[in-house]
Amino acid sequence: MDVKLTREIAADRPPNLLLRRKHMVLKTVKTMALLTAVLLMFVSIHLSAAFGDDLTGFGVEATLGVIIEDPGGHVSYMGTSLDVNNDLKYDSKTRLVGRFKLTTPGSYVPNFYLMMTPVRFSADGYKTVSFSYGGKTFTGGIPFNSNLQTDQYDIALYWGIPYLKVATNNVLNVDLGIDVKITADKAEISQGVLNASKTLTIPVPMLYAGVQLKPVQQLSFEGEVRAITAGSTGSLVDLSIAARYSPVRPLLLGVGYRYEYLKVNISDVDSETSFSGPFFEAGVKF
C-alpha cells in the first residue's frame, strides 16, 4: 500500500478518543453557558415582577467547578446484570459541574437553585462468559465497548425557616423545598457490528433540604440532601457537604464531597448505581 493511499484511509477514520472527549467537554461548556444566559434572563424578569424597582435583600451565587466521580453498582437492560467496575471497567473521571442560586427577600417568594452535573463514562469492558443486553447476546471472552451517560439538571424552589437566621445572629440557616432532577440517561454496548442501547429522560420530583453554618462572615459549612423513593420503581439520593470561603467579595471558593445513589427499575431497565467523590469550585457571590 503506497503512502498516498495510507493517508487517504487515515483521513476517513473517525476522530480519536481524545478528540471526542474534547468535543464532549466543549459541548458541556456551551450547554452551561446557554443555560446560564437563559437563567439570567429569567432572573431579571422574576425580580422585576416580584419587587419592581426595589431589589434590596436579594442575592446571587454562581460557581463553576470540577468533581472527581467514582462510579459503582450495576446496570442491566433486558438481560444480564453488568458490574460497573468489574465488567464495564469504569474508573474515576473528572467532570465539570455548575451551580446557580438566587435568594429573594421576604418569606413568600421562593428562592431558586439550579445545578448541572454531567455524568459520562466510556471504556472497553470484558466478560469471560456470554451475556445479554437489550435482548441481544454478546460473546464472552471478547472485549466490548460501553458508554454510560446520566446527565443531571436540578431545579429547586426552596424557603428558609422564618426567623432562624435572625434568632442565631446569621450563624445558622435551614432551607426546605422541592427539587426536580431531570436525568438524560443513555446506556450503550457495542461489540463489532453488534450494538444495543437504551435512552431515558426522566424528570424526578424530590424533597430538598439545605443547612448552612456560618461561624464567621467569610466562611460557611454547608450540607444538602435531595431524596425521593418510589417503591419498586426506584429511588434517588443526592448528598453533599462543602466548605465555602470568600477571601474577598465577591470571590467564592469551595471544596466538598458529593454522593449520589440512583436505583431505576422501569422500561426494562434495572440499574443500581452510585457516583461519589470530591469537588472543587470557584465563583462569585453578591
> Does residue 7 register a pLDDT over 90?
no
pLDDT tens digits for 36-74? 555 555 554 454 444 444 445 689 999 999 999 999 999
pLDDT-based confidence at residue 8 (cuts at 50, 70, 90) = very low
Start-to-end CA distance of the chain, whole Å, equals: 64
The answer as to whether 9 is a domain residue is no
Q: Where are the beta strands (DSSP E) in 105-171?
A: 111-117, 120-125, 131-133, 136-138, 144-160
Which CATH number goes with the domain that contains 258? 2.40.128.90
How far apart CA 66 and CA 79 sit, in angstroms, is 34
**Which of 256, 231, 229 minimizes the C-alpha distance to 245?**
256
The answer as to whether 27 is a domain residue is no
Question: What pLDDT is stored for residue 39 in this prediction?
Answer: 55
How far apart CA 72 and CA 1 sit, in angstroms, is 46
**Which of 276, 23, 68, 77 minimizes the C-alpha distance to 187?**
77
Model-level pTM? Answer: 0.79
The distance from CA 249 to its chain's CA centroid, rounded to whole angstroms, is: 27
Q: What angle do CA 145, 189, 92 make, to 5 degrees?
A: 55
Question: What pLDDT is stored for residue 200 in this prediction?
Answer: 85
**Which of 106, 8, 113 minimizes the C-alpha distance to 57?**
106
Domain that holds residue 113: 56-285
pLDDT tens digits for 108-149? 889 999 999 988 899 999 999 999 999 999 999 999 999 998
Q: Are strands 194-216 and 111-117 parallel, antiparallel or unpaired?
A: unpaired
What is the residue type of 246? S
Q: Find out whether 255 and 49 touch, Cβ atoms under 8 Å.
A: no
Count of the separate structural domains present in the chain: 1
Q: Count other Cβ atoms within 10 Å, centred on residue 108.
A: 8
**Which of 259, 238, 223, 240 minimizes the C-alpha distance to 183?**
238
Q: Count other Cβ atoms within 10 Å, centred on residue 34.
A: 10
The answer as to whether 46 is a domain residue is no
The answer as to whether 207 is a domain residue is yes
> Does residue 30 register a pLDDT over 70?
no
> Does residue 186 register a pLDDT over 80?
yes
pLDDT tens digits for 82-115? 999 999 999 999 999 999 999 988 778 899 999 9
Is 22 strand, coil or helix? helix
What is the residue type of 75? V
Q: Find out whether 282 and 250 touch, Cβ atoms under 8 Å.
A: no
**Which of 210, 207, 135 minimizes the C-alpha distance to 172?**
210
pLDDT tens digits for 239-286? 999 999 999 989 999 999 999 999 989 889 899 999 999 999 999 998
Q: Give the DSSP letter string of 199-224.
A: EEEEEEEEEEEEEEEEEETTEEEEEE
The answer as to whether 5 is a domain residue is no
Averaged pLDDT for residues 179-199: 92
Region for residue 181 given its phi and psi (left: phi exceeds 0; alpha: psi -120 to 50; beta: otherwise): beta
